[in-house]
Amino acid sequence: MTTSKPRVGISRRTLLQSTAALPLFSIGTRYANAAEFTYKLATGQSLTQPINPRLKQATERILEASSGKLEIRFFPASQLGSDTDLLSQVRSGGVEFLNISGSVLSTVVPGAALTNVGFAFAGYEQVWPGIDGELGRIIRGQIEKAGFVAVSKASDNGFRQITSSSKAIKSAADLQGYRIRVPVSPIFTSLFKALGATPTSINFNELYTALQTKLVDGQENGLVAIESGKLYEVQKFVSQTNHIWDPFWLLGNRRAFGALPDNLKDICRREFDRASMEQRADVDRLNASLKEQLVGKGLAFENVDRASFRAALTKAGFYKEWREKFGAENWAVLESIVGQLS
């Protein structure tokens, strides 16, 4: 469909059409026999997530910039296992690079959950200065202490919204006894228990089936994930809670990354940083149009009483509990960005 006014930027179809045809891995034939290092990069994100084409482009640029010395084979969309499987593989060295959400990463790097404190961030005007600044520095340090390497800047897994198949969730009271899927992440489980719900941890690649079979009543994810995972086929309502912002982190196996010469490390960081920044812009453009698209696919969007959720969390002691777990110093850094949490 055309309009009289030209569209700025790129469409979702243009952005993601190359992803649908992503091979199991990509190899630059020009340098097929020249690689000194052959590594694997895996993701657990569905094929139409914007992070996948950007990472694929980065692997191609790395191959070119290294004159074929570093070949990174790309395995998107859980082709090598679920998120939790992949975390074990990157730790053991079976996979050298992994794109993983901060929420799932927090199962082995608890400090990664600092960005997942419920109803903390007001918007991206707080997110990016924080994650590219002191808050990000703290999390990257904890990633390294856990034995991984944080290879690039964080990319955008989006603000998360609650969806439902049975009723609109408009206030904390609507979550009483509600069976909701959450990622495999302690802070998500803690958040929804504090709100009176019954959370169940399920990997994303099993989520559609869990919703379809009514194992859970609803779930929570960003709009990009809701669209790319076709969750609109098994859900009816989207409550615009913006309850958590979650990043993607690109992890490297410490031994494998350390084995690279400094010039190849520099190339990796440069190109993966570029991919992260491009993906942030992609998500920003997509979020501007996704609500309209999802309404067209049958989802009803609902406004919520955010204050009721925040009050319920305070009453349940959620903020006090997580301040103690993260430590007063780390909590103070978070509050310096988002304001006082009580």
Residue 252 DSSP label = E
Mean pLDDT calculated for residue range 99-115: 96
The predicted structure's pLDDT at residue 10? 43
pLDDT at 322 over 80: yes
For 9: left if phi > 0, alpha if psi spans -120 to 50, otherwise beta; the answer is left
User: Tokens 């990319």 appear where?
Assistant: 155
Structure tokens at 286: 């997509």
* Contact present, 153 and 276 (Cβ < 8 Å): yes
Fold match flag (13-157+246-288 vs 161-244+295-338): yes
Residues 6+ apart with CB under 8 A from 300: 168, 236, 237, 238
The predicted structure's pLDDT at residue 205? 86
Residue 260 DSSP label = S
Mean pLDDT of the chain: 92
- Distance in angstroms (rounded) separating the CA atoms of residues 66 and 60: 10
Q: What are the structural domain ranges in the chain?
A: 13-157+246-288, 161-244+295-338
Give the pLDDT band of residue 216 (cuts 50, 70, 90): very high
161-244+295-338: CATH topology is D-Maltodextrin-Binding Protein; domain 2 (3.40.190)
* Contact present, 74 and 59 (Cβ < 8 Å): yes
As a three-state string, the secondary structure of 39-89 is EEEEECCCCCCCHHHHHHHHHHHHHHHCCCCEEEEEECCCCCCCHHHHHHH
- Report pLDDT digits (tens) over 157-195: 999 999 999 999 999 999 999 999 999 899 999 999 999
Q: Which CATH class is domain 13-157+246-288?
A: alpha beta
Least confident of 67-71, 134-138, 181-185, 332-336: 181-185
Give the pLDDT band of residue 46 (cuts 50, 70, 90): confident
**CA torsion, points 331, 333, 339, 341, in degrees to nearest 10?**
0
Paired strand residues for 164: 218, 237
The predicted structure's pLDDT at residue 2? 36
- Distance in angstroms (rounded) separating the CA atoms of residues 306 and 183: 21
Taking CA atoms, 73 is separated from 23, 24, 68, 109, in Å, by: 10, 8, 12, 26
- Distance in angstroms (rounded) separating the CA atoms of residues 71 and 64: 9
The predicted structure's pLDDT at residue 262? 98
- Report pLDDT digits (tens) over 64-92: 999 999 999 999 999 999 999 999 999 99
